[in-house]
Amino acid sequence: MPGDAHTDLLDPGQTDRPSGGPAGRPDDGPAAAWLAASGLLEADLIRRDAAPRTLRAYRVDVEGLARWAAPQGLSPAAVGPREIRRYVAHLSERGAAPSTSARKLAALRALFASQREHGMIAQNPAELVATPRRGSQLPKVLSARDAARLLDAIPASSPLEARDRAMFELAYSCGLRAEELVSVGVGDIDHDGEQLRVEGKGRKTRFVPVGEPALAAVRLYLERSRPALAAAADPASRGPAPANLFLSRTGRALGTSDVRRRLQAWTQRAGVGRDASPHSLRHSFATHLLDGGADLRAIQELLGHASVSSTQIYTRVESARLRSAYARSHPRA
């Protein structure tokens, strides 16, 4: 991250900043303390090899608390559990979902853990604040039939169509997160071993089997379509095409928003999976494995979950499916 990434922790033009320095200069008082705390956390995360996306997310969440706390004269050392609870309530009042507040609270726990490690505070106030209860909404899952309809509806007659077919076949075959999908490199696929090397959250590497339909789609894309997309890159402005497997029409690496947009277009055309997202394919992958008899530990490893508790949500999907079937079918349900 650039060295000036934190200079907008507070709006320099705000007039209600506490006294102690010239207006418009966050170089002393609470603003400076939040800037320093954020810098320490960033350094700690970089030492732990945190992903750039994680660094950005934590920075945004820390900035949110800083913007709320500094105008009240609160530095990190002056924030206790009571202030954290007030901030969480503030987020709720502004319409933040419980899941959003829970994510932000996790970032604040990391911030104050960093402060404690460096001897700035005696205890972590965020550890004493309960995580907002998240809703019990189950993940959206395509049926096996709808997943097949979606993938079979994507032709391979043009480079972009062949790319999309290979991309979504691979996503469903391996249960990939969108970020993992766009990060797959050409060299990450072992065609002979029929497996994919995936770099997941926390830079943790796992190897996932790849099904034959996905391998066939990827081979076709590599042979006929990716060279054409790579040739579209403009060396004068962008340099050579990246090593990423999936490229845009201009030869650049795809972003997660590109994947989401393309999936929405194909689900609409196929008439399946309304509001489906790339994560829906990941959820479908796990649910269909469970339906087929795979155990939770195996699914946990394939998904790259750090804890099996994250994987257990799919047992709730199965339970909900069985209850629905019972309600539809049993004469005295």
Distance CA 315, CA 289 (A): 11
Residue among 56, 38, 47 at smallest CA distance from 110: 38
- The Cα–Cα gap between 189 and 50 comes to 24
- List the 195-199 sheet strands across, edge first: 189-190, 195-199, 205-209
Cα(298)–Cα(311) distance, integer angstroms: 10
CB atoms closer than 10 angstroms to residue 284: 25
Using CA atoms, how far apart are residues 129 and 142, in angstroms rounded to an integer? Answer: 37
Count of C-beta atoms within a 10 Å radius of residue 201: 15
Give dist(CA 278, CA 264) in Å, integer: 9
| Beta bridge mates, 253 | 247
Residues in CB range of 331: below 8 A, 6 or more apart? none
- Write the DSSP string, 114-180: HHHHTTS-SS-GGGGSPPPPPP-PPPP---HHHHHHHHHT---SSHHHHHHHHHHHHHHHHT--HHH
List residues with catalytic annotation: 177, 201, 279, 282, 305, 314
Rounded to an integer, what distance in angstroms lies between the CA atom of residue 270 and that of residue 280?
15
